[in-house]
A and B are shown apart, each in its own frame.
Chain A
Amino acid sequence: TIGMVVVDKDGKIGSGTSTNGLSHKVPGRVGDSPIVGAGSYASGGVGGAAATGDGDIMMRFLPSFNAVMMMANGDTPQKAAEKSIMPIIKAYPKFVGAVIAANTKGTYGAACHGLGSPFKFSVRSPDTPTVTVIEQPCI
């Protein structure tokens, strides 16, 4: 799955996802990626977020919507991403997934759980000389 957040030079924001889901899924199964607030969410003047991982679990908690609401309430993207997956971890300790978040001022962060290794995500901004892969240790 790819989940993406884009902020233009004027601070306008959007988000998107694309995936082929889980291997060997039950035919007809849809994951969190096309579900608003689950796979991704964006709100003008605030920020955007995108999730990846076990969609059957993540769609029950709307982590992307949760992260954006946390940013609206003043949290940094990093803190918002972390707080957005905490309810999932509490209910499903074996949960595997990650959330990226960015606000419309260009600050970003990420959080993950259960991957067994740091979560890697990609960033490009005027601050990065080229596309940069960042490793985020999991909670």
Chain B
Amino acid sequence: AGPLPLVINTWPFTNATLKAWSEIQTGSYLDALVAGCSECESQQCDGTVGYGGSPDEIGETTLDAMIMDGETHDVGSVGDLRRVKNAIGVARAVMDYTQQTLLVGESAKDFAVEMGFKEESLTTNRSAEIHSSWLQNKCQPNYRQNVSPDPTKSCGPYKPSSKLFTHRDFVKPIHRWNHD
């Protein structure tokens, strides 16, 4: 066994680790989690956390976040959060100010605003460029299948194919700079 306290996180996001470590010296483990993840959100760690990264097909950045208290099994979670930067903060608010577990989409944004979070665009020049390049590359890669026009060659809008003919067997572009 190692000594405590302990902060551990995925990827070499050392500033987030440091922030959580600093917070745990005086705050709670939940405060440390929020501080650490918030640090990554504001620093846009690897472009995989926070605003201005991973635009969807229509160019919008959306955020997912969760916090879990292992002592009580309380959970606060947000999915497809739009136009609010501090996703882990909103997740904490779901845990603290509701008896529910997971809020999503526009309604999650409305909840966040109600709880005092600022509504603002998550798009940056960088995310706009990523989306523009993707459009110029005929929307490749994408995650569609069994639709027409052929999603391996064309952008949408897509319609369902008359029959399901395949599961796309391709290596998804999951790597250090593109992941959940």
Contacts and interface: CB of A to CB of B under 8 A. Distances in A.
* Interface core residue of A13, A20, A26, A120 (most chain B CB under 10 Å): A20
Given A14-B33, A18-B87, A34-B78, A120 B41 contact: no
Does more than half of chain B's interface fall in helix, strand or loop, or is it mixed? mixed
Interface string A1-16: 1111111111111111
A89 to B, nearest CB: 14
A125 B24 CA distance: 11
A16 B68 contact: yes
A124 B17 contact: yes
A25 interface: yes
Interface in B1-53: 1-14, 16-18, 20-21, 24, 28-30, 32-34, 36-38, 40-41, 45, 47-51, 53
Interface in B132-162: 134, 139, 141-144
B2 A52 contact: no
Contacts of B1: 103, 105-107
Given A24-B142, A52-B180, A122 B12 contact: yes
A42 B180 contact: no
* Interface core residue of A4, A51, A123 (most chain B CB under 10 Å): A4
* Interface core residue of B18, B36, B58 (most chain A CB under 10 Å): B36
Contact of B88 (A18, A23, A50, A123): A18
Interface string A92-111: 00101110101101111000
A103 to B, nearest CB: 8
A23 B24 CA distance: 33
A29 B56 contact: yes
Given A33-B66, A96-B175, A107-B2, A14 B30 contact: yes
A20 B171 contact: no
B10 A1 contact: yes
B164 interface: no
Given A107-B2, A108-B2, 15 more contacts: A1-B180, A6-B24, A14-B29, A17-B65, A17-B88, A18-B65, A20-B51, A44-B70, A55-B180, A121-B10, A122-B12, A122-B14, A122-B17, A125-B2, A125-B7
Interface of B: 1-14, 16-18, 20-21, 24, 28-30, 32-34, 36-38, 40-41, 45, 47-51, 53-58, 60-73, 75, 77-80, 87-88, 91, 101-102, 104-105, 122, 130, 134, 139, 141-144, 171-176, 178-180
Interface of A: 1-36, 39-44, 46, 48, 50-56, 58, 94, 96-98, 100, 102-103, 105-108, 114-116, 120-127, 130-131, 133
